[in-house]
Amino acid sequence: MLTSTPRTKASSVSSQRLDRKRSQTVLVRLFVRRLPVYGWCGLAVNLMAWASSWLRLGPWNYTFFPLWLGFILFVDGLNYARKGHSLMTRSWLHFLGMFGSSSLFWWIFELLNVPVQNWHYVADHYYSPPAYFLLASLDFSTVLPAVMEIAELGVSFTWLRPRLHPTAPGPCLSLKWGVMFVTFGIVCMIVPWFLPRYTFGLVWLSLIFLLDPINNLAHRKSALGHLLARDWRFFLVLPCSALLCGFFWEMWNSHALPKWIYTIPFVNHAPALLPAHLFEMPLIGYTGYLPFALELFALYQFLLLVLRRCEDNLTL
């Protein structure tokens, strides 16, 4: 029978300690602090709201707002653990302002959806107009902070961090090109009212071309500023953040009630071309989340421009 010598045992213990130190080093690289209590609370709220929505448990079956509020708090906690600061800890005022801004932004998208009718809602019972407005506004308030929290987490990794400094607006385009872009944005907003079946996709481009050039010419942060600076990372991290949120939006919506469903021309009923759906959304429909992120960014910067707020509290 073979037995371990003291030297072999010592080397084994030393190897285990070395592996433990290596794993601790990796964790230190990923996180500089522990996940705060509010992050764990957010995760718990998210999971409970998810169960309540899908299993029809508890006094409220429709738990969109607490589900996404929990998600936002959890990701904000990850940002704090990762960097030592986050959207919420840097500025409570800006963080809460994002919720109010988000409600306004999505009501704009609801208006843009009127001519194209690409989505509509299925309710579990009748809601009076005031109740519907309040409930919808509360739910819409989570859209902007959710996308920006994911983007904040993304830019905490060096290889995803945009080259432009978070406070740098980047180069400006000429006034001539600015007018051309804004004009095209107006066209994108008007044409779907007359040809909704064929031009519904312009809805997801209109606000980019309408507002982003204005932000750029006003020396605010803009997608055009990053484009002119050839800062391609910006166009990777922000659209992908919305795409990731889109996956969770569609997943959590799939068994919820009330819920939304899609009626997209040439997509929903074209099995020979695009048969695949992921939850309620046709697979090709997820590409709409990519420009949607840029529209959210343009709307937020434009609102701050109107309010004459210099800082946006973002690190991208």
For residue 155, the model assigns a pLDDT of 94
Question: Tell me, what's the pLDDT at 24?
Answer: 45
Three-state DSSP state, 259: strand
Residues of the chain with pLDDT under 50: 1-2, 13, 19, 22-27, 272
CA 60/CA 215 separation, integer angstroms: 41
Query: Using CB atoms within 10 A of its CB, is residue 135 exposed (0-12), middle (13-18) or buried (19+)?
Result: middle
| CA atoms of 109 and 144, how far apart (whole Å) | 13
Q: b or e along 24-45 (b: 16 or more beta carbons within 10 Å of the residue's beta carbon)?
A: eeeeeeeeeeebbeebeebbeb
Q: What is the pLDDT of residue 25?
A: 47
Q: What pLDDT is stored for residue 264 in this prediction?
A: 84
Which of 304, 269, 294, 315 is closest to 205 using CA atoms? 294
Helix/strand/coil for 283: helix
Q: What is the model's pLDDT at position 43?
A: 97
| pTM (predicted TM-score) | 0.87
CB crowding 231-267: b at 16 or more within 10 Å, else e: bebbbebbbbbbbbbbebbbebbeebebbeebebbeb
Instruction: Say what the pLDDT of residue 263 is.
Output: 86
Query: What is the model's pLDDT at position 124?
Result: 81
Q: CA-CA distance, 101 to 107, in Å (whole number)?
A: 10
Distance CA 215, CA 301 (A): 7
Identify the H or E element spanning 37: helix 37-55
User: Which tokens sit at 145?
Assistant: 């902070």
Token output for 136: 């919808």
Query: What CA–CA distance (Å, rounded) separates 255 from 260?
Result: 10
What pLDDT does residue 75 have? 97
With beta carbons less than 8 A apart as the criterion, state whether 125 and 166 touch. Answer: no
Tell me whether strands 281-282 and 277-278 are parallel, antiparallel or unpaired.
Answer: antiparallel
Query: What pLDDT is attached to residue 154?
Result: 95
